Structure 1
Amino acid sequence: MNNKTLSHGKLTNRMLTLWSFLFVFFVSIKAEAHVGSSGVIVQKQVGKYNLLISVTPPDVVPGTAKVTVFVEQGRVSSIGARPIYFRSGDKGAPTHDVLTAVGTNRYEGDLWLMDSGSSSVELSLDGPDGKQQVVVPVVAVATALRDMPAGTGWGLAALGLLLIVMIITIIGASNADGVVLPGQPAPKTLGRRRLVGMGVGLVVVTLILVGWRSWWNSTAEDYRNLQLYTATPVRSSINIADAQRKLTIQFDTTGFRKKQIRRLFSYVIPDHGKLMHAFLVRTPGLGAFAHLHPDRVDTLQYTSALPPTLPGGKYLLYADIVYRSGFAETLTDTVDVPFIKISAEAAAAAKPTDTDDSWLVTEPMGVKANAVNVPHLDNDMVVCGKPGASVKLEDGSTMLWMDKPSQVLEASKLYTLKFAVADAQGKAVTLEPYLGMGGHAAILRSDGTVYIHLHPVGTYSMAAEGSLVNRIADTSRTFRFPNAVTFRDSIDAYVAKLKTLPEAEKNKLLMAGMPPMSHTMKTNNMVEFPYAFPRAGHYRIWVQVKRNGRVLTGVFDTQVNEPLL
């Protein structure tokens, strides 16, 4: 192994701050733009500023989002933040709230998100290095129901009962005492009038309470049906034709409740040039993996040919899509893939639905889903004084997990997951863009409850960012969707054209529509991803890069524990 090539010297200040910079994420099992963690991490260069941004949206809307900005490079005097909703745009957005400086080059603040749906957080930076603006896509949806603490409930009930008694007493007293004239004796009917008044008051209060309870139940039902996020259901299936297995993913609209807000399926937009990124992972063990890009058959149906070497079994399905509004979500399902015998000639002749499809069959994790503190990393080397892991790739090269701080990682702590590729002689190799980026990664917890599709810029969709940036530039107060059929057909034509372009031209077009990324390497053999594991458990990481026109996938396992207090 060429130590001169693989070693990258002393850690930079940027890496040190990354490891010491903690983000706390609230875990949600609901499926949003990913599964199992609700925060957004953005690593971006804008002007002279290198920024690391975390936005943790509330799990109840209206609610406050936690915004944290770390200025890795650049001189900043102040940072303002404001929410901008896709529907109302820039004209309907509030003014900026100033973030508070916490420590060196770190800014924090709470930002109210008052409406559900696709939104963004716009950051306005000002300082000696100039004024800049950054847009962070945020999916603001309610994912939780809040229960009132028992003590608070009993206390409010006691106060309410006291208030009711006082109201009834006051009504009875006013009905009786008002007939007593000054200096005159009280009439004999005074007591009866007081009781009648109290009875009438009791009836009135009861009617008010019944009406209030009906309103409360109706409001709670609307919250559950309209505001509480429910992932779009899909039905996935496998059909066999001409010794070829084909995956079909169909949006299931039959289960929508009458008041449920429906998705605008005609307005799905491409992300990295693909309308859908579907990941199939065999369970248990996670030993087989496929990253597919299904074709759209019609508004509700997508299909993709399965790799002929993909073994049969039960698979977890995660399919990422982005809507025109910038709303991104992950569709989840399980699918049984049938075993099929196919000759070597037929397997070699089989063509994928998309030339960018990739897959890998490897060893399972080797641990049970509930195993604790069982080492299962390939700890066969030390990189720059830190534990590392390496795997052989299909072309004979080696992928290394660089700068791994320890064998066991901590939940809720931000890491830069850095991976390098070297050839058989240990020399750095040149990586090519894969779908317009330096690389992609997918992370899955052993039980499937945490999933994320990672990019070097962070945990969000670049297509969502583009939609929201364009919406902010639009001066209209309300957004009007174009004709659904025309829009869908134009998107299908664009995606079809991308498939015909040479690789270099396609990547140039894709990269032109993406934000700048702040991780240019001295040697083009590395790719890195910012990520914070949301909770403890065993995780498998698939890292995908491209070399010599071939997609290569490296797989790594790691254990994550809760942080020590």
Structure 2
Amino acid sequence: MNAINYLNKQRAVWLLRLYMLLLFVAGSINADAHVGSSGVIVQRKAGTYQVLVSIQPPDVVPGTATVTVFVEQGRVNRIKARPIYFDSGDKGAPTYDELTRLDANRYEGDVWLMESGSSSVELAIAGPDGPVKVVVPVMAVATAVRTMPQGTGIGLALMGLLLIVMLITIIGASNADGIAAPGQTPPPTLKRRRVVGMGVGAVVLALLLTGWRSWWTSSAESYKNEQLYRPLPIKASVVPAAGGQQLTIRLDTTGFGTNWQKRRQISFVIPDHGKLMHTFVVRTPGLDAFAHLHPNRSDTLTYNATLPPLPAGTYLLFSDIVYRSGYAETLTDTIQVPGQPSSAYLPLDTDDSWLVATPMGVKAGAENGPHLDNDMVVCGKPGASTKLADGSSMLWMDKPGAVLESGKLYNLKFAVADAAGKAAPLEPYLGMGGHAVILRSDGSVYIHLHPVGTYSMAAEGSLTGRLADTARTFQYPDAQRFRDSIDRYVSRLKTLPEGEKNKLLMAAMPPMNHTMAVNNMVEFPYAFPRAGHYRIWVQVKRNGQVLTGVFDTQVNDPLL
């Protein structure tokens, strides 16, 4: 083979590789759906440091999670981050990546999440006040497929067509090279050999591309059917029962045996601040009736609760559960409530609560106008107030403005004042200062908030405990024994005095620094993921009674 023939063949190989790479990139971002995610927000005190952490996980896995850390207290020199999966633990975790310091108190960087499943991001904080580590639970799941811009697709297709023509031409020329020496008349067979070479090259390329396309189509279908996250389906129903109406939530295990993506470790559900399941039901479309329930587990698949005397209507249902692996998810359904007399209500859990308020967008005496609760000014800033069931008032303090911005991190602060306007001290509610639920008017955004952020404390406990485990692979205990032990623990909590129960729950939670000069306030860090009209329910406890405040607000996209 002469030098020209060798160079032509080398060029053909290079062009073929380039074309396959371009096709791979084009195929990998060609899709037709997208599901948004609001990320994870955590406010933590670790040693002498207090940090506010925001993690935006990728919507495709493998992918990069954006980690932002705001240092609220303490002297920090550097922050490093690494992902840790529950299955592989500390032994299988990669090395740390250092975050970039963007200003005096803000650090940011990307962390690769290579596998789907329960995971966390471990932050290593160093400074004059000593080294500490913070674990932030992150659910690494594929929630979307990517779409290619039409212009990019057309450009890549034209480039691909050009490369194919060049490859066929090179193959034909390579097949005819070396027949005639320089200066000699080409033989009659030269043209025929070139045409035959081009034809054979075209057939080979067609077969290669057809095979590659078949493989890619199969891989894309596998991604959509098996890797793309789908919440565990449930079947919720309401039936008459002693003491009111019974809400039954049954986990649907259909397909567990044939599709690994649907499987869950349902025998290994663990309590989150003392409850196996937190269920919220909200009447639609007005979002004017609300209940926070804690169903009992009657068997592995079935949970039951007594519905409070809610008005009849269609209700959105959101149930939060956490697995032993730290994997947390919200299960959703829609139920029909026929209504019931209030005298028949006997709750199965004394921590259950409910409220009926005015419909969203409607305020008494202003039925034809918008209702955004901007009815007062607190310390020169817009504020909002709502009456509580015991005659006290809840105030939305330091509200940034009448209209908030999507994607912006806020610290939502609420205070309670008694009927005389004096600060009303609050009691722990399930081991913490309060709870909040935020729901977009169409039900497309839902979040159960705590003073420490948007994540589950039970998930953090599982993932932190896994870090201390030196085993390379986690070994689950016997499913029935584990479930029975959890049921006994939850039942025991219900028998404890309120103070003892809260002390036990708080001991299992991460350190929180939300001490106020007067114990009548509660704060929740949150960033609204998209524009829209939102309703916020804030729940606190006072004199042994769970009190719920309701606030509405408008969120717009930021002006560019």
Task: Give the Å deviation of 1:441.
Answer: 0.5
Deviations 1:225-255 (A, max 9, x none): 2221111111111111346211111122326
2:347 is aligned with 1:352: yes
SS at match of 1:497: helix
Task: Give the Å deviation of 1:487.
Answer: 1.6
The answer as to whether partners of 1:225 and 1:259 remain within 8 angstroms in 2 is no
CA distance in structure 2 between the partners assigned to 1:260 and 1:291 by the alignment? 29
Q: Which residue of 1 aligns with 2:58?
A: 58
Deviations 1:299-324 (A, max 9, x none): 222111101x2111100111111111
TM-score by length of 1: 0.88
The answer as to whether partners of 2:385 and 2:394 remain within 8 angstroms in 1 is yes
2:556 is aligned with 1:561: yes
SS at match of 2:204: helix
Q: Which residue of 1 aligns with 2:317?
A: 317
Q: Which residue of 1 aligns with 2:296?
A: 295
Count of residue correspondences: 523
After superposing the two structures, state which structure 1 stretch, 331-340 or 353-362, moved more.
331-340
Query: Residues 201 and 279 from structure 1, CA distance in 2 versus in 1: closer, same or farther, beyond 3 angstroms?
Result: same
The answer as to whether partners of 1:319 and 1:331 remain within 8 angstroms in 2 is yes
The answer as to whether partners of 1:29 and 1:37 remain within 8 angstroms in 2 is no
CA distance in structure 2 between the partners assigned to 1:377 and 1:176 by the alignment? 79
Query: Residues 261 and 178 from structure 1, CA distance in 2 versus in 1: closer, same or farther, beyond 3 angstroms?
Result: farther
For structure 1, the 5+ residue unaligned runs are 1-27, 31-35
Q: Which residue of 2 aligns with 1:477?
A: 472
After superposing the two structures, state which structure 1 stretch, 218-227 or 314-323, moved more.
218-227
Deviations 1:362-411 (A, max 9, x none): 1111359xxxx964144443221222222221111221111122222222
CA distance in structure 2 between the partners assigned to 1:539 and 1:183 by the alignment? 83
Q: Which residue of 1 aligns with 2:448?
A: 453
Task: Give the Å deviation of 1:526.
Answer: 1.0
Task: Give the Å deviation of 1:286.
Answer: 0.8
Deviations 1:127-169 (A, max 9, x none): 1111111011111112121122223322322232233233333
CA distance in structure 2 between the partners assigned to 1:54 and 1:177 by the alignment? 62
CA distance in structure 1 between the partners assigned to 2:401 and 2:480 by the alignment? 53
Task: Give the Å deviation of 1:182.
Answer: 8.2
Q: Which amino acid aligns with 1:300?
A: L
- Pairwise mapping of residues 68-79 of structure 1 onto structure 2 (< 5 A)? 68-79=68-79
SS at match of 1:339: coil
Q: Which residue of 2 aligns with 1:285?
A: 286
Task: Give the Å deviation of 1:190.
Answer: 3.8
Candidates 454, 457, 462, aligned match of 1:462 = 457
Q: Which amino acid aligns with 2:269?
A: V
Query: Residues 507 and 311 from structure 1, CA distance in 2 versus in 1: closer, same or farther, beyond 3 angstroms?
Result: same
Query: Residues 236 and 29 from structure 1, CA distance in 2 versus in 1: closer, same or farther, beyond 3 angstroms?
Result: farther
Query: Residues 357 and 163 from structure 1, CA distance in 2 versus in 1: closer, same or farther, beyond 3 angstroms?
Result: same
CA distance in structure 2 between the partners assigned to 1:480 and 1:180 by the alignment? 72
Q: Which amino acid aligns with 2:234?
A: V
CA distance in structure 1 between the partners assigned to 2:528 and 2:34 by the alignment? 14
The answer as to whether partners of 2:243 and 2:306 remain within 8 angstroms in 1 is no
The answer as to whether partners of 2:288 and 2:359 remain within 8 angstroms in 1 is yes
CA distance in structure 2 between the partners assigned to 1:474 and 1:38 by the alignment? 31
Q: Which residue of 2 aligns with 1:503?
A: 498
Q: Which amino acid aligns with 2:500?
A: E
Task: Give the Å deviation of 1:466.
Answer: 0.6
The answer as to whether partners of 1:287 and 1:361 remain within 8 angstroms in 2 is yes
CA distance in structure 2 between the partners assigned to 1:259 and 1:163 by the alignment? 40
Q: Which residue of 2 aligns with 1:271?
A: 272
Task: Give the Å deviation of 1:212.
Answer: 0.2
Q: Which residue of 1 aligns with 2:357?
A: 362
CA distance in structure 2 between the partners assigned to 1:398 and 1:130 by the alignment? 43
Task: Give the Å deviation of 1:356.
Answer: 0.7
- Pairwise mapping of residues 173-192 of structure 1 onto structure 2 (< 5 A)? 173-177=173-177, 187-192=187-192
The answer as to whether partners of 1:281 and 1:287 remain within 8 angstroms in 2 is yes
Q: Which amino acid aligns with 1:53?
A: V
2:384 is aligned with 1:389: yes
Candidates 436, 441, 453, aligned match of 2:436 = 441
CA distance in structure 2 between the partners assigned to 1:539 and 1:170 by the alignment? 62
Task: Give the Å deviation of 1:361.
Answer: 0.9
CA distance in structure 2 between the partners assigned to 1:70 and 1:242 by the alignment? 51
Q: Which amino acid aligns with 2:396?
A: W
Deviations 1:532-559 (A, max 9, x none): 1122221111111111111111111112
Query: Residues 129 and 167 from structure 1, CA distance in 2 versus in 1: closer, same or farther, beyond 3 angstroms?
Result: same
Q: Which amino acid aligns with 1:468?
A: L
CA distance in structure 2 between the partners assigned to 1:398 and 1:367 by the alignment? 19
The answer as to whether partners of 1:444 and 1:451 remain within 8 angstroms in 2 is yes
CA distance in structure 2 between the partners assigned to 1:317 and 1:240 by the alignment? 18
The answer as to whether partners of 1:407 and 1:558 remain within 8 angstroms in 2 is yes
TM-score by length of 2: 0.89
CA distance in structure 1 between the partners assigned to 2:262 and 2:187 by the alignment? 63
SS at match of 1:260: helix
Query: Residues 507 and 243 from structure 1, CA distance in 2 versus in 1: closer, same or farther, beyond 3 angstroms?
Result: closer
SS at match of 2:213: helix
For structure 2, the 5+ residue unaligned runs are 1-32
Query: Residues 77 and 374 from structure 1, CA distance in 2 versus in 1: closer, same or farther, beyond 3 angstroms?
Result: farther
Q: Which residue of 2 aligns with 1:88?
A: 88
Task: Give the Å deviation of 1:454.
Answer: 0.5
The answer as to whether partners of 2:230 and 2:262 remain within 8 angstroms in 1 is no
CA distance in structure 1 between the partners assigned to 2:347 and 2:116 by the alignment? 38
Q: Which amino acid aligns with 1:538?
A: H
CA distance in structure 2 between the partners assigned to 1:316 and 1:477 by the alignment? 41
Q: Which amino acid aligns with 2:501?
A: K
Deviations 1:66-121 (A, max 9, x none): 11111111101111111111121111111111111112211111222222111111
After superposing the two structures, state which structure 1 stretch, 89-98 or 380-389, moved more.
380-389
CA distance in structure 1 between the partners assigned to 2:201 and 2:382 by the alignment? 76
The answer as to whether partners of 1:45 and 1:51 remain within 8 angstroms in 2 is yes
CA distance in structure 2 between the partners assigned to 1:501 and 1:104 by the alignment? 47
CA distance in structure 2 between the partners assigned to 1:148 and 1:392 by the alignment? 51
Q: Which amino acid aligns with 2:423?
A: A
- Pairwise mapping of residues 122-521 of structure 1 onto structure 2 (< 5 A)? 122-177=122-177, 187-242=187-242, 244-254=244-254, 258=259, 260-307=261-308, 309-340=309-340, 342=341, 346-347=343-344, 350-366=345-361, 375-521=370-516
CA distance in structure 2 between the partners assigned to 1:405 and 1:168 by the alignment? 64
Q: Which amino acid aligns with 1:274?
A: K
After superposing the two structures, state which structure 1 stretch, 170-179 or 208-217, moved more.
170-179
CA distance in structure 2 between the partners assigned to 1:509 and 1:557 by the alignment? 34
